[in-house]
Amino acid sequence: MPYRYLLIIGLTIFWLLLSGYWTNPLILALGAASVALATWMAMRIEKKYAFKDKGVAMLLRQHTFWPWIFTEIIKSNISVLKCIWMPKTYPISPIIRQLKMQPQSRIARTLYANSITLTPGTVSVEVRDQEVLVYALLEEAMEDLEGGEMGKRVHKLEGDN
Amino acid sequence: MAFIIDALSWACLILGSFLGISGAIGIFSFKEFYSRVQAASVTDTLCVFFIMLGLILQAGFTLISVKLILAVFLLWLTGPLATHALVRSAYLTGLKPKLSITRKEAAKRGQS
């Protein structure tokens, strides 16, 4: 199962970067033990929800998504800052609405809802099967989401099938 | 060269602090829970990013800066989860957001 190996490799790199002691055998052994423990626990958690093949493919396509979400975060930060500092000229217009989701798989829907929450100005309140309830501080932010640019990009990460 | 890097790092630190202060002011100046969460998410995202960027420029590219990048990454991954949990529990316990459009109009557009 590729997920297990991916987890072991990732955790090992993570541990090595955080520790910085790469020569002491005792500490390395302790690190190996903790990686094994963490992997075992993660596999126990994942047993119920089979981690489908989508995960690895999505991980490999992440580089196309992060730069875009970063520019999006900067843009929405600026619009929220305007509302904070100049409430007279830029009044807030709170709005809540149920949106359809394009992404299909569980992990893509999680990523989509998290991206909505990560950008200031919008928060995903509740996720149901194919719908997400979004609260937006500004009506323009909601219209951007309804335009579906973010959903399309997350959907593209999923690949074809 | 050292001066340029110093200046850049200080610009980043000051910008980050400004964003953090704006987030704090926003939390106090907005009127209700849901919009206050939005102000807090300014601090969650770009404030953290700019302060870490400034610190990385100060430290030079070593193992420490890799740890700082990991810290930003983890914050950006886990911050939305905390916000979502907070907002969802507020919504489920019946705290209604104050909206700019009327309920009837919202219902027509398919709001639950």
* Residues B89, B44 contacting (CB under 8 angstroms): no
Nearest-angstrom CA–CA distance, B42 and B40 = 5
ipTM of the predicted structure? 0.80
CB atoms B25 and A84 under 8 Å: yes
Contacts B70 to A, Cβ<8 Å: 14, 17-18
Cβ of residue A67 closer than 8 Å to a chain B Cβ: no
Query: How crowded is residue B29: how many other Cβ atoms within 10 Å of its Cβ?
Result: 15
Confidence band (pLDDT; 50, 70, 90) for B107?
low
pLDDT band at B20 (very low <50, low <70, confident <90, very high): very high
Closest residue of chain A to B96, computed from CA coordinates? A96
A80 contacts in B (CB within 8 Å)? 26, 38-39, 41-42
The predicted-structure confidence for B37-49, as pLDDT tens digits, reads as follows: 888 888 888 899 9
Report the alpha-carbon distance of residue B15 to residue B62 in Å, rounded: 23
Residue B111 has pLDDT above 60, yes or no: no
Collapsing DSSP to helix, strand or coil, B77 comes out as helix
Question: What confidence score (pLDDT) does residue A127 get?
Answer: 87
With beta carbons less than 8 A apart as the criterion, state whether A13 and A35 touch: no
Contacts of A124 in chain B (CB under 8 A): 84
In order along chain A (161 residues), what is the average pLDDT of each group of 10 residues?
Answer: 80 88 88 92 77 68 86 90 86 84 81 88 86 86 83 79 48
Q: What is the pLDDT of residue A56?
A: 72
- Could you give the CA distance from residue A63 to residue B49 in angstroms, rounded to a whole number? 18
DSSP state of B98: P
* 3-state DSSP percent of chain A in helix, strand and coil, to 5: 65, 10, 25
Q: Say what the pLDDT of residue A148 is.
A: 80
Q: Minimal Cα–Cα distance from B52 to chain A, Å?
A: 15
Q: Taking residues B11-31, what's their average pLDDT? A: 91
pLDDT grade, residue B112 (50/70/90)? Answer: very low
State whether A98 and B112 contact (CB < 8 Å).
Answer: yes
pLDDT over 80 (residue B14): yes
CB pairs under 8 A between A and B: 113
Query: Taking the CA atoms of chain A, what radius of gyration do you get in angstroms?
Result: 20
Which of A16, A119, A132, A137 best tests the B interface by mutation, with the highest count of B CBs <10 A?
A: A137
The verdict on a CB contact (< 8 Å) between A123 and B84 is yes
| Residue, of A57 and B112, whose pLDDT is higher | A57
C-beta separation of A138 from B39 below 8 A: no
What does the pLDDT look like over A33-60, one tens digit per residue? 999 999 999 888 877 665 565 667 777 7
Query: Domain boundaries in chain A?
Result: 2-51, 65-158
CB contact under 8 A, B29 and A84: yes
Q: Per-residue confidence at B18, pLDDT binned at 50, 70, 90?
A: very high
Instruction: Please tell me which of the candidates B66, B84, B100 has its beta carbon nearest to residue A117.
Output: B84
Integer Cα distance of A110 and A91 in angstroms: 31
Q: Inform me whether the C-beta atom of residue B102 falls under 8 Å from chain A C-beta atoms.
A: no
Given a contact cutoff of 8 angstroms between Cβ atoms, the answer to whether B36 and B26 are in contact is: yes
A 102-141 residues with CB below 8 A of B? 113-115, 117-126, 133, 135, 137, 139
**pLDDT for the residue numbered A126:** 87
Cα dihedral A72, B41, A56, B61 sign: positive
Distance (Å, rounded) from C-alpha A54 to C-alpha A152? Answer: 16
